[in-house]
Amino acid sequence: MLQSRSPLCLLGLSLMIATLSAQAAGLSSEHKNFGKTRDGTPVEQYVLRNSHGMQATVITYGATLQALEVPDKHGKVEDVVLGFDDVQGYETGKAYFGATIGRFGNRLANGAFELDGKRYQVPQNDGSNALHGGPQGFDKHVWKARPTQGKDSVGVTLTYRSADGEMGFPGNLETEVTYSLNDRNELRIDYKASTDKPTVLNLTNHSYFNLAGAGNGDVLQQLATLHASRYTPVNGTLIPTGELAPVAGTPMDFTKPTAIGKNIKANHPQLKFAEPKQGGFDFNWVLDAKGDLGKLAADVSDPQSGRRLQLYTTEPGVQFYTSNFLDGSVKGKAGKTYAHWSAFTLETQHYPDAPNQPGFPSTRLDPGKTYTQNTVFRFSAQ
């Protein structure tokens, strides 16, 4: 009997067991249409649910986290991420709401880098710099998707093949991003990539969180802890100086729970670089967890709703950005508008401009090697 079981049959069996255990744990998923892009490409929407009312919605446009319903201390569910109700919002949007960012998250000085003596140029879409992989980054493509099941989670795996030379980056790059939800209220994002030529890579997710609910005011009273004793200070175009500076004695010190708004308007040159008019945070913090997924990297809570978000990651850094460029002019989900400081991001990443910064951890990926990145957003309410 045993020899008649092909590997395919065993795979089917283990998938079935995973499905049954996921169902037993109260997890479910479904997918449906989410409209079409301007050029007529269909976009799908995957909805992952757990038994505590948490629900994560991912769309294939930009491998984007489109919605994230999370219960508060009374069990009341709210969508805690900014976004749009239709594909057109994402196609025309410039804020990267919920998107998967690639090939290179954050900035590359002058859009350029050198690899093995050769210079590469990425289109400059942020003044003289390249931001988030250039104007047609991973956030502006429709990904392929398939439903997945883990031992104790439901998920969706999205894939995208970026051709050699796309946005100036070398190598054909195969990228895979899996979102999964379990019954411990953890949304996990796992990234994988491989290349056929040496290249650089820095993938992240650009969700904008407001723990009071997207569009429900600003996040200035929400309490943030960043387990980071250093950050990477920047110049006037938000390119790191190369220094890893202590946060102690600066508004960047979030080592203890601190209201996001407490020092946001402080008269500090770094805050002026991030947002010259009103101030704001938009920096990379050097995480003390040093890539240990078991160690808490950041912790944000909303005293009003009781919602709490704890962050774990294999990445050495996190960009904590307080949506300084939002100004209420964009209409988001359910007709709500998103004002200045109405959300924060926790973009887990390698440090900005790493290919041009010899002192920073390397972002190089070689053929035959697999890039991985794992990030967990754990939600609770108290």
219 binds ligand GLA (CB under 6 A): no
Site string for ligand GLA, 344-373 (x = CB under 6 A): -x-x--------------------------
Phi and psi at 4, nearest 5°, equal -80, -10
d(CA 361, CA 307): 33
Q: Please state the closest distance from residue 345 (CB atom) to ligand GLA, in A.
A: 5
Q: How far is the CB of 318 from ligand GLA (least distance, A)?
A: 11
Nearer to ligand GLA, 46 or 209 (CB): 209
Out of 166, 282, 302, 353, the residue judged to bind ligand GLA by CB under 6 A: 282
Based on CB atoms, which residue is closest to ligand GLA, 95 or 287? 95
- Check 206, 275, 315, 350 and give the catalytic one: 206
* Smallest separation (angstroms) from ligand GLA to the CB of 84: 15
Nearest approach, Cβ of 39 to ligand GLA (angstroms)? Answer: 24
Give the nearest distance from C-beta 323 to ligand GLA in angstroms: 8
Site string for ligand GLA, 235-274 (x = CB under 6 A): ---x------------------------------------
Binding to ligand GLA (CB under 6 A) within 72-101 occurs at 95-96
Closer residue to ligand GLA (CB): 181 or 274: 274
> Residues in contact with ligand GLA, total (CB under 6 A)?
11
Which is nearer to ligand GLA, 38 or 94 (by Cβ)? 94
Residue of this chain nearest to ligand GLA (CB atom)? 321
CB 206, min distance to ligand GLA, A: 6
Nearer to ligand GLA, 156 or 318 (CB): 318
CB of 137 to ligand GLA, least distance (A): 11
The Cβ of residue 26 has, within 10 Å, a number of other Cβ atoms equal to 11
176 in catalytic set = no
Between 133 and 168, whose beta carbon lies closer to ligand GLA? 133
Question: Mask of contacts with ligand GLA, 310-329, x by CB under 6 A?
Answer: ---------x-x---x----
Looking only at residues 37 through 66 of this chain, which bind ligand GLA when binding is defined by CB under 6 A? Answer: none
Give every CB contact of residue 250 below 8 A, 6+ residues apart in sequence: 268, 270
Angle subtended at Cα 158 by Cα 155 and Cα 163, rounded to the nearest 5 degrees: 165
Q: How many CA atoms lie within 13 A of 76 on its CB side?
A: 8
| Catalytic position from the list 44, 315, 347, 350 | 347
Minimum CB separation of residue 343 from ligand GLA in Å reads 11
Binding mask 98-137 for ligand GLA (x = CB under 6 A): --------x------------------------x------
Cα–Cα distance for residue pair 246/259, rounded to 1 Å: 20
Whether the Cβ atoms of residue 308 and residue 380 lie closer than 8 Å to each other: yes
Of 25, 22, 42, the C-alpha closest to 33 is 42
Active-site residue, 340 included: no
Contacting residues toward ligand GLA, per CB under 6 A: 95-96, 106, 131, 238, 282, 319, 321, 325, 345, 347
Please give the positions annotated as active site.
206, 347
